[in-house]
Amino acid sequence: MEQGAEVLLKPLSECQIAIVGIGLMGGSLAGALQGACHQVVGVDRDEVAIRVAQDRGYIQWGTTSLADGVREADVVVLATPVRAIIELLREIGAYLKPGALLMDLGSTKAHILKAMAALPPDVEPLGGHPMCGKEVSGIKAADPTLFQGRTFILSPLERTSSQALALGRALARGVGAQPLVVSGHRQDFLVATLSHLPYLLACALVSTADATTSADPFAWQIVAGGFRDTSRVAGSDVTMMVDILMTNREEVVKAARVCQTKLEQLVSLVEAGDEDGLREVLSYIRETRREMYP
Amino acid sequence: MEQGAEVLLKPLSECQIAIVGIGLMGGSLAGALQGACHQVVGVDRDEVAIRVAQDRGYIQWGTTSLADGVREADVVVLATPVRAIIELLREIGAYLKPGALLMDLGSTKAHILKAMAALPPDVEPLGGHPMCGKEVSGIKAADPTLFQGRTFILSPLERTSSQALALGRALARGVGAQPLVVSGHRQDFLVATLSHLPYLLACALVSTADATTSADPFAWQIVAGGFRDTSRVAGSDVTMMVDILMTNREEVVKAARVCQTKLEQLVSLVEAGDEDGLREVLSYIRETRREMYP
């Protein structure tokens, strides 16, 4: 309550919101916030991104200057790749107005929350991670409906006031998402299996096809929906994914090691021609998936 | 030309087509053939499946008797799991009329083509594999648009006449697909990587989540599109998949071993924190996937 008691946070509808990084996620958030807040300011090093966002009506105005863009903002959202967020956190504290809510949209939280803890005491930090994405990047792929019905993870720090968390919840709901408060450590553990591991598997699959079937000109004529879906996330932005993998290494490697064991079990059953064993394992897996997506 | 010269095959529009196995694939094919041929006969051990297919207008009539169903058919399509196809091939020769085209929709070809080679000489065998599917099974999931725009692999035997192959092509086009003639061995090699490996990876992913995150009640609230898509085919029919894996063991294991090596390379790069190496590999993979799906 140290900061919250001094500076009462405005309701979302009266907030000026600055979004730093007007790419797929930032641009989509800006567009989704139109009508839910007072105004949205776009901050990006790329003037073209600002112009596109403005042309689409996603932002009221934009600037390439971080200081100018966030100075008057009640809420600042960092929407760059994870390690760019961490760099921004080193610099941005000096520009923010007292009581400002500072959020991010980064996919891993351990390093970001650590950097947020070092912010000036009159800033309200709050980790954020909307569970959505696309295998395309950049403002041109932005879509204000991206967050509709998705879970928006909020990871408060100990110092985060209840008003700041409430404003974060309002922002998540304002873009059509469901806020869910999850600690940074727990979210990093969960997304390692549920988000980062699928990426590695998709990449391994594409890499395999490249090494085996891609020499056959028929390969891409017969490729079916299973391959397309299983490999989709291999098209994700590489800078974003390298940042994610490098800042969630321990959890990602742990999840991957479990997966490698599970894959080896399956391949061994096929190799041994153990039909009954295979049927049993595959039936259990099918039921498990059906419980996940009823 | 032995058989083709004796019995001229009818055009598709005049054919009576019997489909054995009125599930997802057979039912969809029956529905897709309405209007493209003279009539469609459904053969299934399950009377309910026949009734549903008839109610939906997918078949003109149906029977639980294999002999009765295929006796007058110009084209017979076996649409059961692979090993049920092989069993049917042992029995069905005696019931077919001379010159009948006998196709299948099985996902692996080596064992099926071998069994087809033993058919009576006055039958025209032709392997078939439409590159489509769903993670659901049964007539109720059938969809006559399932084949639209998909590749329909045709694998002729040496004995298959050019007229029979032409009729097979017409059938594939008649349901909206693109026929593609591929040898059985080559198709088994290709689908091992492009279809069966994605299934094993999807299963390993679901199995991993079951072992790691599923104990956390938040897991299914935060699971995003990447996991859903990468794991989709783990919901495929188990009997169908066991048959596929057991009849394409060698190629599936070969593809899986390559994939395990690729996955280990990726995990090792993450574990070592080798950012440059990771960026290089992931960039190449992303480009490869973009070339696959421009």
How many CA atoms lie less than 13 Å away from A18 in the CB half-sphere?
24
d(CA B164, CA B181): 13
d(CA B36, CA B222): 47
Q: Do B289 and A225 touch (CB under 8 A)?
A: no
- Looking at residue B222, its pLDDT comes to 84
Eight-class DSSP state of B156: E
d(CA A238, CA A241): 5
Residues A61, A41 contacting (CB under 8 angstroms): yes
Tokens of B173: 């086009």
Whether the predicted pLDDT of B6 surpasses 70: no
The answer, as to whether pTM is greater than 0.90, is: no
Residues B203, B232 contacting (CB under 8 angstroms): no
Percent of chain B with pLDDT over 90: 88
**Helix H or strand E segment including A287:** helix A275-292
> Residues B155-202: pLDDT tens digits?
999 999 999 999 999 999 999 999 999 999 999 999 999 999 999 999
Interface test with A, best of B148, B206, B274 (most A CBs within 10 A): B206
The single residue listed with the structure tokens 């599109």 is B225
ipTM of predicted assembly, 2 dp: 0.89
Where do the H-state alpha helices sit in B137-235?
162-174, 184-191, 197-211, 219-222, 225-231
Q: How far is B186 from chain A (nearest CA, A)?
A: 9
Instruction: List chain A residues with pLDDT less than 50.
Output: 1-6
Q: Do B279 and A193 touch (CB under 8 A)?
A: no
Out of B150, B193, B219, the one facing A190 most closely (by C-beta) is B219
Indicate the pLDDT class of residue B292, thresholds 50, 70 and 90. confident
Whether the predicted pLDDT of B132 surpasses 80: yes
Going along chain B from its start, the domains and CATH numbers come out as: 2-182 (3.40.50.720), 187-292 (1.10.3660.10)
Q: How far is B8 from chain A (nearest CA, A)?
A: 31
Which residues does B55 contact at the CB level (< 8 Å), separation at least 6? none
